[in-house]
Amino acid sequence: MINIVLVEPEIPNNTGNIGRLCVGTESRLHLIHPFGFEITDKNLKRSGLDYWVHLDWHQYQNVAEWKAQIPDLSRVFLMSSHAEKSYLEADFQDGDWLVFGKESVGLSQEVLQQFENHLTIPMSDKIRSYNIANSVAFVVGEAKRQIMLK
């Protein structure tokens, strides 16, 4: 199972779409407070449709609480547009943690400094970033592909 981590998600529709993706890919969703919405937000439920009840998800009050329960910190991969290594170069394994920052600014330097594995998603220089739900789909798809081949 892949673990998807959203640090301080801001937009309920994105989180709902990612939750739906997690149900479809049998991944677990981890949400780290503060959120830019309430879990009961109708937009979250609308985006996740009726799949939200099937979602395996956990929430944490802060990064430290989440980090404390990770069995192997070397299997945590942080997505950053400033990273030099592409997610396509990573060697993913079952149980890995894929971490994404908030939509407006990504992951903070404080969070990035706590982990070694930083990855980027290659993109044209004509855009600043991809939508977070699309970014999660790219990386989860590659991770699942690699795991299935092992």
CA distance 115 to 117: 6
Answer yes or no: is 80 a known binding residue.
no
pLDDT at 40: 72
pLDDT tens, N- to C-terminus, the chain (150 residues): 999 999 999 998 899 899 999 999 999 999 999 998 777 756 666 665 678 789 999 999 999 999 999 999 999 999 999 999 999 999 999 999 999 999 999 999 999 999 999 999 999 999 988 999 999 999 999 999 999 997
Answer yes or no: is 74 a known binding residue.
no
Answer yes or no: is 121 a known binding residue.
yes
Q: Which domain holds residue 95?
A: 3-149
- pTM, 2 dp: 0.94
CATH code of the domain covering residue 17: 3.40.1280.10
Q: How many domains does the chain have?
A: 1
Answer yes or no: is 129 a known binding residue.
yes
Asked if omega into 34 is within 30° of 0 (cis), the reply is yes
Sequence-separated (6 or more) residues with CB below 8 Å from residue 7: 32, 63, 99, 100, 101, 102, 107, 108, 111
Q: Residue 98, Cα to own-chain centre: how many angstroms?
A: 5
pLDDT at 39: 79
Q: Are strands 117-119 and 28-32 parallel, antiparallel or unpaired?
A: unpaired
3-class SS at 130?
Answer: coil
